[in-house]
């Protein structure tokens, strides 16, 4: 994708594995855009479980959800891949929760004059978590994946913040004891080839990272 150098988008979606720097990007954008007179909302959309919550409770009772303590760090695992019924129920219910979020949290303010919405985690992050829990490696390219992605407005600017695995683990040491962490990391790496996503490489300086964000979002052209 080419950079959005002319206009600040109404919706900016920042994605990436925990420790990539996506929160830094979101907070920078919110600060800069607010200073320029925009009304900015950051929506952190992790764990928005309503439809999915009963299934998660059932899975804990049935033993599909487990927790381990390793080196003083508590890590949770959803072994939904062990049941096709659980796996597909989880995918469908997660989609319904993402759909609910769209209509209750995003669309009510989307497109209003001078309003900018920044999403910190949404459909791609959800899809990767679900793909790891169900071990459906091609979920993002599947019919279900396309349905999830269609929840994003077409004019949204989608930004992937990527970082080398070793650098991520330096700031997220819990990833070293999480058996699913590397799988989640490489799912995010595969998003680099998605033509609907801008990729920012957070392997340089903070200034370089923020300059890239400003260029992609058109912030650098704001007077």
Query: Would residue 6 count as lying in a domain?
Result: no
The whole-number pLDDT of residue 5 equals 52
User: pLDDT by residue (tens digit) across 164-206?
Assistant: 999 999 999 999 999 999 999 999 999 999 999 999 999 999 9
- The domain tally of the chain equals 1
The whole-number pLDDT of residue 119 equals 96
Distance CA 148, CA 94 (A): 9
Distance CA 53, CA 94 (A): 10
Provide the whole-model pTM. 0.93
User: pLDDT by residue (tens digit) across 126-155?
Assistant: 999 999 999 999 999 999 999 999 999 999
Residue 6 clears pLDDT 70, i.e. is over it: no
Query: Would residue 2 count as lying in a domain?
Result: no
Query: Would residue 143 count as lying in a domain?
Result: yes
Residue 78 clears pLDDT 80, i.e. is over it: yes
Residue 13 clears pLDDT 70, i.e. is over it: yes
Tell me the CATH number at 42. 3.40.50.300
- Nearest CA to 217 out of 41, 24, 32, 42 is that of 32
Query: Would residue 71 count as lying in a domain?
Result: yes
Per the prediction, the chain carries an average pLDDT of 93
Which range marks the domain in which residue 199 is found?
Answer: 11-218
Query: Would residue 223 count as lying in a domain?
Result: no
Query: Would residue 168 count as lying in a domain?
Result: yes
Per the listing, tokens 């077409």 go with 154
The whole-number pLDDT of residue 48 equals 86
Residue 4 clears pLDDT 70, i.e. is over it: no
Describe the chain by its helix, strand, coil percentages, rounded to 5. Answer: 50, 15, 35
Mean pLDDT of 120-125: 94
Residue 211 φ then ψ, to 5°: -65, -40
Query: Would residue 139 count as lying in a domain?
Result: yes
The whole-number pLDDT of residue 72 equals 87
Share of the chain above pLDDT 70, in %: 97
Distance CA 49, CA 171 (A): 27
Query: Would residue 99 count as lying in a domain?
Result: yes
């Amino acid at each position: 994708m080419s950079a959005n150098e002319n206009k600040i988008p109404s919706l900016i979606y920042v994605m990436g594995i925990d420790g990539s720097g996506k929160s830094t990007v979101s907070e920078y954008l919110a600060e800069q855009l607010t200073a320029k007179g925009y009304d900015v909302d950051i929506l952190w959309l992790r764990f928005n479980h309503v439809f999915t919550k009963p299934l998660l409770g059932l899975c804990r009772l049935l033993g599909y959800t487990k927790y381990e303590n390793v080196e003083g760090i508590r890590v949770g695992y959803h072994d939904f891949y062990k049941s096709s019924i659980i796996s597909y129920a989880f995918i469908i219910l997660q989609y319904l929760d993402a759909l609910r979020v769209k209509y209750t949290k995003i669309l009510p303010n989307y497109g209003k004059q001078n309003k900018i919405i920044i999403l910190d985690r949404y459909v791609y992050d959800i899809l990767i978590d679900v793909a790891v829990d169900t071990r459906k490696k091609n979920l993002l390219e599947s019919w279900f994946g396309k349905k999830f992605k269609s929840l994003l407005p077409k004019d949204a600017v989608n930004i992937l913040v990527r970082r080398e695995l070793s650098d991520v683990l330096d700031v997220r040491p819990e990833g070293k004891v999480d058996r699913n962490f590397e799988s989640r990391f490489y799912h995010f790496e595969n998003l680099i080839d998605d033509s609907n996503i801008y990729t920012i490489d957070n392997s340089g300086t903070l200034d370089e990272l923020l300059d890239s964000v400003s260029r992609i979002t058109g912030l650098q052209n704001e007077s």
